[in-house]
Amino acid sequence: MIPWEQLHGAMTHFPIALLLFSAACDLASVVLHKFTFARELRRVSFYGVAVSAIASVGAVVSGIALTNGNMWGRGDLGWHHRFIWPAFGLLVALAVWRLIVKDAMSRAGLCVYLVLMVMASGFIAAAGYFGGELVLGGG
Amino acid sequence: MFNEVEIRAATTAFIASVCVLTVTFVGGGIYWQHNGRLAKDKPSSESEALVAKGRSLFLQSCSHCHGRDADGGEDAPSLLKLQISGAHMTLVIQNGIKDEMPSFAKKYNDADVEKIVAYLKTLK
């Protein structure tokens, strides 16, 4: 018997932390663009979003197994899913886009990318909150 | 505004995202169907798991007042041989009883309350 509850708990923190970290590095690289390390920050954020997307597959698979394939649900589980599916879709799209574009980003492209990164971070943070509520309870 | 590489990458990213979500939902749906069939084959083990989880939740939140074996405590009555329906039990757990018992609506969702009720129904 695979302990999906423990596996999901362990796996799910990687994409959350890495996505938030990647978004923070991207925003910092824009704010601190005059410094030479801004380029390194962008490189770190690139690897962050790439590993986050890969890790999210494990988190999603373990989550589906944990809920017996219930992709929606009610209450906190429903809210967890309402946020996690847009976050997962956005995360995959952003990672693929970044992988192809690399550093050949225009100003407009960077702006749209950052807005979507902030949105994905919000979605994944909210999904993480409701996931925590499922485990720890609301009271 | 956007360069050519970005536009091509956006199209690829959109297609990749749609494909991944489609595979996820189709896979999840198949798993859901498969587990549904398993549940029909093993109704007793499913309900046993529900009752076991219900007892675990009961021990976490109810046993302080109602006793570990639900046979009553100083401040709360015994829950053995309850003569009320499952729907009534759900209502009491979710809404509480004024000045006597707190509401657990925020702490437990519908599925959790269902587990607690399943456990309470087994008490004799």
Q: What is the pLDDT of residue A139?
A: 39
Domain count, chain B: 2
Query: Does the beta-carbon distance from B8 to A65 stay under 8 Å?
Result: no
Residues B82 and B22 in one domain: no
Q: Does A70 touch chain B (CB under 8 A)?
A: yes
Which residue did the predictor score with more confidence, A36 or A1? A36
Which band of pLDDT confidence, cut at 50, 70 and 90, is reported for residue A62? very high
Which band of pLDDT confidence, cut at 50, 70 and 90, is reported for residue A2? confident
- Residues of A within 8 A of B32 (CB-CB) are 68-71
**Average pLDDT, stretch A114-133?**
94
- Write the class of the CATH domain A4-136: mainly alpha
Q: Distance between CA B5 and CA B41 in Å, rounded?
A: 53
Q: Does A74 touch chain B (CB under 8 A)?
A: yes
Residues B22 and B59 in one domain: no
Question: Is the backbone of residue B2 left (phi > 0), alpha (psi -120 to 50) or beta?
Answer: beta
- Residues of B within 8 A of A46 (CB-CB) are none
Lowest mean pLDDT among A2-11, A60-69, B38-47: B38-47
Residues B70 and B33 in one domain: no
Residue window 11-40, chain A: list those with CB within 8 Å of chain B. none
Model confidence pLDDT, tens digit, residues B29-53: 998 888 755 655 554 666 778 888 9
3-state per-residue secondary structure call for chain A: CCCHHHHHHHHCHHHHHHHHHHHHHHHHHHHCCCCCCHHHHHHHHHHHHHHHHHHHHHHHHHHHHHCCCCCCCCHHHHHHHHHHHHHHHHHHHHHHHHHHHCCCCCHHHHHHHHHHHHHHHHHHHHHHHHHHHHHHCCC
Which residue did the predictor score with more confidence, B87 or A78? A78
Q: What is the pLDDT of residue B74?
A: 80
Summary mean pLDDT of chain A: 91
Nearest CA among A83, A93, A80, A82 for reference residue A52: A93
Q: What is the pLDDT of residue B39?
A: 54
Summary mean pLDDT of chain B: 85
Question: Is the backbone of residue B116 left (phi > 0), alpha (psi -120 to 50) or beta?
Answer: alpha
Which residue did the predictor score with more confidence, B68 or A23? A23
Q: Distance between CA A131 and CA B94 in Å, rounded?
A: 21
Residues B57 and B112 in one domain: yes
**Average pLDDT, stretch B79-107?**
84
Range of the domain at B3: 1-42
Q: Does B16 touch chain A (CB under 8 A)?
A: yes
Residues B53 and B100 in one domain: yes
Query: Does the beta-carbon distance from A106 to B104 stay under 8 Å?
Result: no
Query: Nearest CB to A100: which of B9, B17, B34?
Result: B9
Residues B57 and B20 in one domain: no
| Burial per residue of B88-118, b for 16 or more beta-carbon CB atoms within 10 angstroms, e otherwise | ebbebbbeeeeeebeebeebbbeebbbbbbb
Q: What is the pLDDT of residue A138?
A: 44
Count of positions (residues) in chain A? 139
Smallest CA–CA distance, residue A92 to chain B, in Å, is 6
Q: Which residues contact A3 (CB under 8 A, 6 or more apart)?
A: none
Confirm if B25 and A121 have CB atoms less than 8 A apart.
no
Instruction: Reply yes or no on whether the pLDDT at A79 is more than 80.
Output: yes
Domain coordinates in residue numbering, chain A: 4-136
Would you give the DSSP letter of residue B70?
Answer: S
Q: What is the pLDDT of residue B46?
A: 63
Residues B83 and B60 in one domain: yes
Q: Does A72 touch chain B (CB under 8 A)?
A: no
CA A37 to chain centre: 24
Q: Does A103 touch chain B (CB under 8 A)?
A: no
Q: Distance between CA B4 and CA B11 in Å, rounded?
A: 11
Count of positions (residues) in chain B? 124
Confirm if A104 and B5 have CB atoms less than 8 A apart.
yes
Q: ipTM of this model?
A: 0.89
Q: Does B14 touch chain A (CB under 8 A)?
A: yes
Residues B38 and B50 in one domain: no
For A1, half-sphere exposure in the C-beta direction (CA atoms, 13 angstrom radius) is 4
Q: Does B20 touch chain A (CB under 8 A)?
A: yes
Residues B27 and B58 in one domain: no
Query: Nearest CB to B20: which of A69, A92, A94?
Result: A92
Model confidence pLDDT, tens digit, residues B1-32: 888 999 999 999 999 999 999 999 999 999 88
Residues B38 and B52 in one domain: no
Query: Nearest CB to B32: which of A68, A74, A88?
Result: A68
Q: Does A138 touch chain B (CB under 8 A)?
A: yes
Instruction: Reply yes or no on whether the pLDDT at A45 is more than 60.
Output: yes
